[in-house]
Each structure stands twice: as C-alpha cells, then as structure tokens.
A = this chain, B = another copy of it.
C-alpha cells in the first residue's frame, strides 16, 4: 500500500513566516534558512523578535487564520481521497498549523511544537526529533507502506530521497539545480498525473 507524505508550507499553504512579516510589517521576520543556515539560530532570532515586539501566539494565529490555501490545494487533497492516503509532514509547529489544518479537513500532521507561557508568549520551540521528515517516511516504510513524498525545499530533500518516489513541487531554482535527479512538477494537475502514474504502475 502507498502513503503520500506531503509538505505543508510552499506546497499546500503559503510560507507562514513571510506572511507574519508582511502582516506585522517586521521585515526581519522574512529571514529564512537561506539567510541564516542554522535553523535553531534562525528560530531563536524569530522568537527574540516576537518578544521585542510583544507579539504572542494569538497574534501569529490571527495572521495564519487569514492565509488562503494555495489555489487548487483543496481540490488536490480531495482528489487524493480513495486513491492514496496523505499525511502532512512539516517543520512547522503544532500551534501554528491548526488554523491551516482546519481549512484542509484536519489531515494528520507530523511536525514540532512550541512552549508557550500563560500569557501566550512563545518562550521556546521543541523539535520533535532530528531529521523529523525523513523519519516519518522510514516509520511508514517499517509499517510496510511505500511512500510518495512531496516537498519544495532543502529541508524536504532527505524525505524525498528516503521515499520510494520523491517529487519536488514548484521548488526554487537553486533547489532544482542542487537536486537534478529528483522529479519536479509545476502544478497540481501535473502532480495528479504523476501520482496516478505511480499508483497505476505499482500494485498495492
């Protein structure tokens, strides 16, 4: 049997931090792992900025609740039902994701979580485990699933390589250049076509 592991931000929904930066007007929150390579250092900086500006989890959740899904994302998810099961695999945080998950029908999400004090201040972040995305694929393979994995960025590559079928969905050019052996698709209709092809040419 197949299971589809799908990244969240950049594939089904827009990038959360870029939109938090846009809505709050705090340009420094636009920083990504392309600017600060060390993810832990980047997250620490983000939490410092939130603290400086007195922004709580409620403010962030408000911004996230205003985000629209990528056009076509809901249709893609509904198309999967009855064809192949999907789990969402993301480096986001549980507390950020709920407003987004609600919009796509509450799929299961494998991600991290935050530490929040009684006033709603985000005091720390907790990675569920190292190499979290890849390990979800491995866990499913140990349960005798074959995995189709979809992602768009550097933090998806080990997951895509671990899966039986890894697909890059609208990645930036540098991710394509650095991973020329991984299939790239540019639209949900191409993605549907490729997923159909994989499911049809491989038995349950």
* A136 neighbours in B (Cβ, 8 Å): 143
Smallest Cβ-Cβ distance to A87: which chain B residue: B108
If the complex has contacts A1-B94, A94-B204, are A81 and B102 also in contact, measured as CB distance less than 8 A?
yes
If the complex has contacts A136-B143, A139-B139, are A82 and B98 also in contact, measured as CB distance less than 8 A?
yes
A101 to B81 CA separation, bound complex (whole angstroms): 9
A128 to B40 CA separation, bound complex (whole angstroms): 38
If the complex has contacts A113-B1, A136-B143, A139-B139, are A108 and B108 also in contact, measured as CB distance less than 8 A?
yes
User: B-facing mask of A109-152, CB < 8 A → 1, else 0?
Assistant: 11001000000000000101100100110011011110000000
Smallest Cβ-Cβ distance to A95: which chain B residue: B204
A106 to B135 CA separation, bound complex (whole angstroms): 24
**Residues of chain A having any CB pair with chain B under 8 Å:** 1, 81-82, 85-87, 94, 98, 101-102, 105-110, 113, 126, 128-129, 132, 135-136, 139-140, 142-145, 204
If the complex has contacts A1-B94, A94-B1, A128-B1, are A110 and B143 also in contact, measured as CB distance less than 8 A?
yes
A62 CB to closest chain B CB, in angstroms? 16
Smallest Cβ-Cβ distance to A129: which chain B residue: B144
A85 to B143 CA separation, bound complex (whole angstroms): 19
A108 to B81 CA separation, bound complex (whole angstroms): 10
Contact B204 A113 (CB under 8 A): yes
Smallest Cβ-Cβ distance to A128: which chain B residue: B144
A92 to B87 CA separation, bound complex (whole angstroms): 20
A97 to B81 CA separation, bound complex (whole angstroms): 12
A29 CB to closest chain B CB, in angstroms? 24
Contact A139 B129 (CB under 8 A): no
Contact B143 A139 (CB under 8 A): yes
A166 CB to closest chain B CB, in angstroms? 19
A150 CB to closest chain B CB, in angstroms? 16
* A139 neighbours in B (Cβ, 8 Å): 139-140, 142-143
